[in-house]
Amino acid sequence: MNTSVNLAGVILKNPVLTASGTFGSGIEYSEFVDLSKLGGVVTKGVAITPWEGNPTPRVAETTGGMLNAIGLQNPGLDVFCERDLPFLSKFDTAIVVNVCGHSEEEYVKAVERLAETNADLLEINISCPNVKEGGIAFGTNAAKIEEITRAVKKVARQPIIMKLSPNVTDITEMALAAQNGGADAVSLINTITGMKIDINRRTFALANKTGGLSGPAIKPVAVRMVYQVAQKVSIPILGMGGIACAEDALEFLMAGATAVSVGTANFHNPKVTEEIVEGIEAYMKRNRIEDINELIGCVK
Amino acid sequence: MKRYESLTILESSCLQEGIYSMTLDARAIAQEAEPGQFVCLYTDDLSRLLPRPISICDVDKETGTLRLVYRTVGFGTKEFSGKSAGDTITVLGPIGTGYSKVAEGAEAPKRILVGGGIGIPPMLLLAKEWKQAGYEVIAVLGYRTKDTFLLDDMEKYATCYVATDDGSLGTYGTVIDAIRENNLIPNGAENETVIAACGPMPMLRGLAGLAAERNVSTYVSLEERMACGVGACLGCITKTKSVDAHSHVHNARICTEGPVFDVKELCF
């Protein structure tokens, strides 16, 4: 039975990765999960310099999901390269570094710096809804996506995955823009912008007023978008949005994702990623699927 | 080491309206739990997916039991309060850095434990351990009314003073009023005293003010909206004066570096 997939030229032992921002750099979750059993670890977004992030409250629960407005707090690439990358390198898993920036120049500098490291893939976060500069301001403009993709590809050593926002009229336009700019893959969806009011305090539940909605509530939107993008682009898709079990992951693969990222579900069950790997294998056995690649995009 | 496991409930009872007690068969967690640490409890389905952080009220290492006393505030805690002995619940713990931080500080012989409302439960285990360690343990407990909870348990380990919002028991006012009224920190005793507190933010801010005014070493337990409970998501940070271990900015994680902090470290 083959569970390995090829994501933009990198062979993953299975299609299960973690979603950026929910799993740190794997250090905290390594108490619960054998990281070597995962297809890859996608790190929390990292920028060239440390970012302080937003004021609290930064998270709020909603029915079937949650809102977050962390604001991409991160230690910057110096600490990340000294501490987090060597930690992840101890495991037999692909290292996918999520990169954020306030400007095109910052993305380029970060990608340049990461070219000297052993990271396997880079995921470029142009879709964070919780930061004022960079983030979603770039991810909702097709021309800007193409321009940034081209700029980072020029200096990149690793394959580039552009992470797309669902907060657009037509996500396939954004995916095509990334492909035209030379992206090796796209990942989708980032969180959906939302809001919650705390009726007892009579104010916003999040200090940032708005936040990104994630969790099982957004899964049908994500599956639909992965399917639509799969019909339009030829580059592979890393699918995510509300995956909480093997059945959810299989929906994304069948809709056209080559691999999936599991995010918010880690907060409900820190062992969930490993359980999803096992669940996919059990499904394949039960249905006599020899190669997982038979399932990718099998629903047309 | 943190464990994520399904545990059997040995006892579940209502202490007063909205305040519940739950005892769990938690062999592994009980062995490692320290005062001021907490556990995360999970609801039974993904419609409410985030863990509920609940402070550890008491542990019995011999019998391997863990006691939690919590307030029902929403869907999750209401679900927990509806469970009975014999039911199971998913738990992650023990989590965080508790009052063991105090041990790194002064060896002051007098320990004043200050608990406000649902901040009282973690004071029980702390009072027990500090009493066993030979400290002079005083507890100052703030309730809304004379309907107290855990007061009998606290009296086993501490000399207790009570403050109530309506004056129906003890000092009429706040825990800080009770500290002043009873002259619990006499002049000259500042260096021999450590304050450990858990409660609402206005109470903790008031204590920080008192700590600064009298120059008494004070440790407080903070609360914040949390998502992962393991230090990965960076949801529950508090601003600190020194640079934090994780992001090298000034944001300590309440679930990891906390929930207990030296007030001198915080930006109150």
Residue-range domain boundaries for chain B = 3-95, 100-221, 223-268
Please give the average per-residue pLDDT across B68-89, as a whole number.
Answer: 97
CA angle A77, A45, B238 (to 5 degrees): 90
- How close does chain A come to B258, measured CA to CA in Å? 15
CA angle A15, A20, A22 (to 5 degrees): 105
Contact A83/B at CB under 8 A:
no
Phi/psi region, residue A209 (left: phi>0; alpha: psi -120 to 50; beta: rest), is left
Question: What's the pLDDT score for residue B104?
Answer: 61
Please give the average per-residue pLDDT across A23-27, as a whole number.
Answer: 97
Give the whole-number percent of chain A exceeding pLDDT 70.
Answer: 99
| pLDDT interval class at A145 (50, 70, 90) | very high
Residue of B nearest to A205 (CA): B225
- Amino acid at residue number B52: R
Contact B245/A at CB under 8 A:
no
* Tokens linked to A74: 């991160």
Residue A4: closest CA among A290, A298, A297, A299: A290
Q: What is the pLDDT of residues B201-254, one digit of tens each?
A: 999 999 999 999 999 999 999 999 999 999 999 999 999 999 998 999 999 999
Q: Which residue has the tokens 């640079």?
A: B243
* Domain B3-95 identical in fold to domain B100-221: no
Residue of B nearest to A27 (CA): B232
* A24:B225 CB<8 A: no
B71: pLDDT strictly greater than 60:
yes
Tell me the average pLDDT of chain A: 96
Q: What is the pLDDT of residues A269-294, one digit of tens each?
A: 999 999 999 999 999 999 999 999 99
B106: pLDDT strictly greater than 70:
no
* Tokens linked to B71: 């307030």
- What is the third-level CATH fold of B223-268? Dihydroorotate dehydrogenase B (pyrk subunit); domain 3 (2.10.240)
Q: What is the pLDDT of residues A89-123, one digit of tens each?
A: 999 999 999 999 999 999 999 999 999 999 999 99
- Point out the residue among A31, A58, A270 whose CB comes nearest to the CB of B225: A58
Q: What is the pLDDT of residues B234-243, one digit of tens each?
A: 999 999 999 9
Question: What's the pLDDT score for residue A138?
Answer: 86
| pLDDT interval class at A181 (50, 70, 90) | very high
Q: ipTM of this model?
A: 0.94
A interface test, pick of B5, B32, B46, B92 with most A CB neighbours within 10 Å? B46
- Point out the residue among B48, B237, B247 whose CB comes nearest to the CB of A61: B48
* A75:B46 CB<8 A: no
Quote the DSSP letter at residue A290: S
| pLDDT interval class at A299 (50, 70, 90) | very high
- How close does chain A come to B96, measured CA to CA in Å? 12
- What is the third-level CATH fold of B100-221? Rossmann fold (3.40.50)
CATH of domain B3-95: 2.40.30.10
- Point out the residue among B49, B235, B250 whose CB comes nearest to the CB of A68: B235
B8: pLDDT strictly greater than 90:
yes
- CA dihedral in degrees (B226, B231, B235, B236; nearest 10)? 60
Residues of A labelled as active-site residues: 128
Residue of B nearest to A74 (CA): B247
Please give the average per-residue pLDDT across A26-54, as a whole number.
Answer: 97
* B224:A57 CB<8 A: yes
* B233:A29 CB<8 A: no
- Cβ(B221)–Cβ(B95) below 8 Å: no
- Cβ(A41)–Cβ(A21) below 8 Å: no
| pLDDT interval class at B78 (50, 70, 90) | very high
* B49:A264 CB<8 A: yes
Tell me the average pLDDT of chain B: 95
A230: pLDDT strictly greater than 70:
yes
Higher local confidence (pLDDT), B268 or A264: A264
A141: pLDDT strictly greater than 80:
yes
B180: pLDDT strictly greater than 70:
yes
- Amino acid at residue number B195: I
* B235:A58 CB<8 A: yes
Half-sphere exposure of B149 (CA within 13 A, CB side): 22
Show the domains of chain A with their CATH numbers. 5-54+70-191+211-294 (3.20.20.70)
What is the rounded CA–CA span in Å between residue A258 and residue A11? 11
Question: What's the pLDDT score for residue A137?
Answer: 75
Give the whole-number percent of chain B exceeding pLDDT 90.
Answer: 92
Strands B38-42 and B52-55: antiparallel
* A56:B49 CB<8 A: no
In sequence order, the β-bridge partners of residue B7 are B89
Question: What's the pLDDT score for residue A199?
Answer: 96
B105: pLDDT strictly greater than 60:
no
Angle between helices A142-155 and A171-180 (to 10 degrees): 30
Question: What's the pLDDT score for residue A27?
Answer: 96
